[in-house]
Amino acid sequence: MNAWIWLLLAAACEITWAIALKKSDNFARHGWSAAAIIFMLLSFVLLARAMKSLPVGTAYAVWTGLGAFGAAIIGIVWLGDSRETGRLVSLALVLAGVVGLKYFTPPDNASGGQESSGAEK
């Protein structure tokens, strides 16, 4: 599977755990707390998979950018967070940065041409 797909899945998990963490009420609601922890771990696993062939800076910036953007949009739409113009413009800039990183990142395996076998030199 393409590293960008792994990264999008990781970002979706990032958004999910952030919202679950909010809904957990400081870990008082155990179902939401468990969901936050599970999706957090899954997000890290998927990010690590994407980093096998994407540059670390690109992968991390896209992961956090999409996570922040998605969580903020869900907060605005479903949780009543502020829709202030400055916030929306700032979120658009985050998304523009993510799109720019995708556009200007060389094709998969550009960070050495090989996926790690687990045995580092």
- Report which of 100, 120, 104, 103 is spatially closest to residue 52, judged by C-alpha positions: 120
Kindly tell me if the per-residue pLDDT of 108 is higher than 50: yes
Q: What pLDDT digit, counting tens, does each position of 36-70 carry? A: 999 999 999 999 999 999 999 999 999 999 999 99
DSSP assignment string, 32-77: HHHHHHHHHHHHHHHHHHHTTTS-HHHHHHHHHHHHHHHHHHHHHH
Residue 67 contacts residue 16 (beta carbons within 8 Å): no
Instruction: Give residue 96's identity as a one-letter amino acid code.
Output: A
Token reading at 25: 């009420």
Please state, as a whole number, how many other Cβ atoms lie within 10 Å of the Cβ of residue 70.
19
Average pLDDT on 7-16 reads: 98
Kindly tell me if the per-residue pLDDT of 13 is higher than 60: yes
Kindly tell me if the per-residue pLDDT of 118 is higher than 80: no
Q: Position of tokens 């940065």?
A: 97
